[in-house]
A and B are shown apart, each in its own frame.
Chain A
Amino acid sequence: MTISIKEVEHVAVLARLQLKENEKEKYARHMGSVLQYVDKLNQLDTEGVEPLDHILPVFNVFREDQVKPASNREEILANAPLVEAGQYKVPKII
């Protein structure tokens, strides 16, 4: 399994990771070698095998519809890089 620079770039956009040119090649190589390794799974016939998405035989875990006090706003904003008017401030969207 090899992976192209173009695919690396596409995945990096999806993952919101800015890659430098030299990194792209490194990722292509590393991802390629891991993907080649995981191709081993294709040796197995999994026809009819139910995917295991939850290991515990547990269902319907609920909480009551009860309101508890919210966090203190100062506390919740304390770790924010930039705050204005009690809100997180972010650069322009477009």
Chain B
Amino acid sequence: MNFETVIGLEIHVELKTRSKIFCSCSNEFGAEPNTNVCPICSGFPGMLPVLNQQVVEYAIKAGLALNCEIADYCKFDRKNYFYPDLPKAYQISQFDLPICKKGYLDIEVDGVKKRIGITRAHLEEDAGKLVHQGTISSTPFSLVDLNRSGVPLLEIVSEPDLRSSKEARAYMEKLRSLLLFAGVSDCKMEEGSLRCDANVSVRPYGQKTLGTRTEIKNLNSFRAVEKAIDFEVQRHIEAIEDGEELIQETRTWEEDQQITRSMRSKEEAHDYRYFPDPDLPPLRISREWVNDLRLSMPEMPEQARERIMDQFGLSAYDAGLLTLSPDLLAFFDECTHYYHDGKIIANWMMGEMSKLLNQKNLDIGQCRIRPAHMAEMLNLIDQGRISGKMAKEVFQVMFDTGSSPEAIIKERGMEQISDEATLEKIILEVIANNPGAVEDYRNGKKKATGFLVGQVMQATRGQANPALVNQILARKLNS
């Protein structure tokens, strides 16, 4: 039997405000436990929430980036459940009236374009963090750190429009890129500022109703999203083929074992008892406000992609890669201020630079190479002052030190030797020292040239201008 996979993603994005959603504690990541907390985000008696305006503006911007309708009126609700990391034992969230709804984004997988619906995006506060000794089931006790409690989150829920793990990954990448461009989140999966839960089911092709759905949590990277969905889809298909019953449940992705595992949290059905939070007056979002925010939005990736394709003749693929993040695009754009050929810039960025970044597991924001320096290096190649091969060495040093290419080649004497007199002198020496090779050449073994060029390069530590060496050597051998 052939099966169709149906996937919907719920993505939690941390909004990059300075302070938390309902109090003035810092929103920064990685502080010592319980040092970014106050009585409000720690749920002390008598404490009240006051909404951070920037959170609302970021949510509206995210909604605009995701082609959503922005609500005229929305409110906050209390979602009630007990957990040690949830200080008030209710999470302030939005239930029936989310700030954004009915959006979409476009993805492209294997050359096929597809529009994925976004059901809604709503605001909520994050919970704190539970630290276990070992695993949650073996730990004798747990520790509660509330630094993250009250960090603003936007939960973005997709329609079940995704049909493969590749589409799911493409959706996430696109979503991330849109949110990065909109400037509303850092989208750092490793720091948890972009988190994904996947709802997965399979059904025989042609069947209208959805199969039994499972929800996978703990997906901390794009790779994990893809792998976990693949695993889960396979598990569903096997179960159906073996006539086993699938249960609707929440599962967690075990990164070490590359499997999903049932979370088997008490089968007690959740009953969140949502009701409007009396402590927070509702929001009325005027169209003027939305329009002002729309006008303040930066160029979005699709526009940028069109622009750099037009302006620099880049392929759709290359332009797509360069618009994956605003940092990449900004780097590219800045390079083009100092160097004319966008294609060459793109090649270096996606070739050498991307290779070095990947080796060090860095992103472009952490790259020490300045765009102006990259352009300078490309100009040096064009001027013949360094060879393409030397450029790679220079680039490596630029990457390691952040120095300018001019300084690097000066300091290290790496400049290409293009002075004919100097080269001629070295070439004559090589000819004198290698009579055998010269003899071979003159007897018709043209391959001997290669050996002699190699000797010249060795003698100049690779700095001789190879075109000039060939030219002079041919002249001398034939004279």
Contact = CB atoms under 8 A, between A and B. Distances in A.
B82 interface: yes
A51 B360 CA distance: 57
B50 A14 contact: no
Contacts of A89: 141-144
Q: Please classify the interface of chain B as helix (H, G, I), strand (E, B), loop, or mixed, using the class held by over half of its residues.
A: loop
B35 A70 contact: yes
Contact of B38 (A53, A60, A71, A87): A71
Interface in B4-49: 17-19, 24-27, 32-39, 42
Interface residues of B, number: 49
Interface stretch (B173-181, B281-289, B381-389): B281-289
Contacts of B50: 61-63
Given A70-B38, A85-B33, A87-B145, A60 B283 contact: yes
B282 A59 contact: yes
A41 interface: no
Nearest to B286: A60
Contacts of A67: 18-19, 24-27
A93 B142 contact: yes
A60 B143 contact: no
Contacts of B18: 65-67
Contacts of A44: none
B276 interface: yes
Nearest to A75: B39
Interface in B110-143: 130-132, 136-137, 139-143
Contacts of B19: 65-68
B54 interface: yes
A13 B51 contact: no
A88 B53 contact: no
B42 A62 contact: no
A36 to B, nearest CB: 22
B84 interface: yes
A63 B50 CA distance: 6
Nearest to A58: B281
B61 interface: no
A40 interface: no
A93 B84 contact: yes
A84 interface: yes
Contacts of B146: 88
Interface of B: 17-19, 24-27, 32-39, 42, 50-56, 75, 82, 84, 130-132, 136-137, 139-146, 268, 271, 273, 276, 278, 280-284
Given A60-B284, A88-B143, 6 more contacts: A14-B273, A54-B281, A61-B280, A67-B25, A68-B19, A93-B84
